């Protein structure tokens, strides 16, 4: 073993006590027992420390000066990510694994790890989705209680739901408003259909003349652009809606983060519910019912939210229902505002 430039070789256990340069009593002195590898004793290089060696000598021990390259020893004993000293195969500070090329770079190890992670990811995903639907609020309650290892992380589940929706239902208008609805809402002064009372028809005509294409083609391009954007910005609703939930339920949980997780799980359910409805309708041969699907989502979502809030926050049913009505009303306003902003911005940026 190399310690401060000295090479120690023995045939018995040697216990090293390391203490710092300060004059304080070494209460937290570090002990290291050297390991016999068949030829020499192996230990750790401790830089910047004084040391005392106590030996139980029954056979000869000799010491000699030896020149070593400190960087080589340190590189072997320090974590590659954070620079902390390694003990065993994993860093105690950041969790990084010590790489052993003969073990970690083999094709067998690569295939085993890939298959394990794939199976583990699938099992967590299916389990989390099942619990999200079958036990409203259960995943949030488990997250708050600190039992998180067996489930997908909330942000991962939310991103997976968005990816599934993006790839399988890219043009569904659940997350953006169709141009026709904005035009009709402006003409009828319907604040729910056109909350900003934006004259979409005039803007569409001006943009059509500017781009020298007909309005029908431009409207189709707007819907395509809005569909692409609508899935990427949904996460913006989480802090807004989560803050409202926090304001209503802060007496039960006085920290913001759990309420954001509640909002994230609820919005994930909203996305996956919309995703699951369309295949069923397609198999039944029912088409052109986009408005009714959105209406169904808006009516069923408060029920789910009430069940989840009851499980997470533990209020009585009357209080839970009153608070759920408030949070559900805010959600409807936020989702409508988001859908219309997506479509209006898609037209403006074409």
User: Same structural domain for residues 47 and 172?
Assistant: no
In a domain, 190, yes or no: yes
User: Same structural domain for residues 301 and 201?
Assistant: yes
d(CA 162, CA 165): 5
Structure confidence at residue 302 (pLDDT): 92
Q: Which residues of the chain have pLDDT under 50?
A: 1-36, 41, 44-68, 72-75
- Of the chain, the percentage scoring pLDDT greater than 90 comes to 36
Beta-carbon count within 10 A of 16 CB = 22
Q: Is 115 exposed, middle or buried, given 0-12, 13-18 or 19+ CB atoms closer than 10 A?
A: exposed
In a domain, 81, yes or no: no
User: Same structural domain for residues 319 and 230?
Assistant: yes
User: Same structural domain for residues 182 and 294?
Assistant: yes
In a domain, 62, yes or no: yes
Sheet holding 2-3, edge to edge: 2-3, 6-9, 62-65
User: Same structural domain for residues 190 and 327?
Assistant: yes
- Select from 19, 38, 68 the last residue of a domain: 68
Structure confidence at residue 112 (pLDDT): 72
Q: Is 46 exposed, middle or buried, given 0-12, 13-18 or 19+ CB atoms closer than 10 A?
A: middle
In a domain, 164, yes or no: yes
Total structural domains in the chain?
2
For residue 198, what are the contacts with CB-CB under 8 A and spacing of at least 6? Answer: 182, 186, 340, 344
User: Same structural domain for residues 188 and 288?
Assistant: yes
- Select from 68, 85, 109 the last residue of a domain: 68
Structure confidence at residue 72 (pLDDT): 46
Structure confidence at residue 95 (pLDDT): 78
User: Which residue in 58, 52, 55, 31 sits closest to 43, CA to CA?
Assistant: 31
User: Same structural domain for residues 152 and 287?
Assistant: yes
Note down the domain range covering 51: 2-68
Structure confidence at residue 279 (pLDDT): 74
Structure confidence at residue 68 (pLDDT): 44
Structure confidence at residue 290 (pLDDT): 61
User: Which residue in 1, 331, 269 sits closest to 138, CA to CA?
Assistant: 269
User: Same structural domain for residues 17 and 157?
Assistant: no
In a domain, 254, yes or no: yes
pLDDT in tens, 300-349: 999 999 999 999 999 999 999 999 999 999 998 998 899 899 999 999 88
Residue 53 φ then ψ, to 5°: -120, 125
pTM comes to 0.69
Structure confidence at residue 313 (pLDDT): 96
User: Same structural domain for residues 16 and 150?
Assistant: no
Sheet holding 30-33, edge to edge: 30-33, 14-19, 50-55
d(CA 196, CA 288): 26
pLDDT in tens, 62-89: 443 344 455 544 445 788 888 888 777 8
In a domain, 207, yes or no: yes
In Å, what is the CA distance from 346 to each residue of 51, 176, 183, 281, 338? 69, 10, 15, 28, 12
In a domain, 185, yes or no: yes
pLDDT in tens, 26-44: 333 344 444 445 555 455 4
Q: Decide if 93 contacts 84 (C-beta within 8 A).
A: yes
């Amino acid at each position: 073993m190399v310690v401060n430039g000295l090479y120690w070789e023995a045939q018995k256990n040697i216990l090293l006590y390391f203490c710092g340069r300060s004059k304080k009593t070494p209460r937290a002195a570090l002990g290291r027992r050297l390991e016999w590898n068949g030829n020499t004793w192996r230990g750790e290089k401790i830089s910047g420390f004084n040391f005392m060696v106590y030996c139980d000598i029954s056979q000869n021990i000799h010491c000699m000066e030896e020149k070593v390259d400190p960087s080589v020893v340190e590189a072997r004993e320090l974590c590659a990510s954070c620079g902390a000293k390694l003990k065993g195969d994993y860093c105690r500070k950041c969790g990084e694994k010590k790489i052993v090329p003969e073990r970690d770079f083999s094709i067998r190890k690569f295939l085993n790890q890939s298959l394990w992670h794939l199976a583990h990811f699938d099992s967590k995903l299916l389990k989390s989705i099942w619990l999200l639907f079958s036990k409203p609020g259960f995943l949030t309650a488990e997250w708050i209680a600190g039992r998180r290892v067996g489930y997908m992380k909330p942000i991962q589940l939310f991103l997976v739901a968005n990816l599934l929706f993006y790839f399988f239902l890219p043009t569904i208008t659940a997350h953006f408003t169709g141009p026709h609805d904005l035009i009709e809402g402006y003409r009828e002064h319907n604040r729910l259909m056109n909350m900003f009372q934006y004259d979409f028809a005039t803007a569409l005509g001006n943009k059509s003349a500017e781009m020298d294409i007909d309005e029908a083609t431009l409207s189709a391009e707007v819907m395509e652009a809005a569909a692409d954007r609508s899935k990427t910005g949904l996460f913006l609703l989480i802090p807004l809606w989560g803050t409202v939930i926090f304001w209503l339920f802060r007496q039960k949980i006085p920290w913001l983060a759990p309420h954001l997780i509640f909002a994230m799980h609820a919005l994930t359910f909203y996305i996956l519910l919309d995703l699951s409805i369309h295949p069923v309708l397609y198999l039944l041969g029912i088409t052109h019912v986009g408005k009714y699907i959105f209406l169904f989502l808006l009516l069923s979502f408060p029920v789910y939210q009430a069940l989840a809030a009851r499980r997470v926050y533990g209020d009585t049913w009357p209080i839970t229902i009153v608070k759920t009505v408030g949070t559900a009303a805010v959600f409807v306003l936020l989702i409508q505002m988001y859908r219309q902003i997506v479509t209006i911005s898609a037209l403006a940026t074409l």
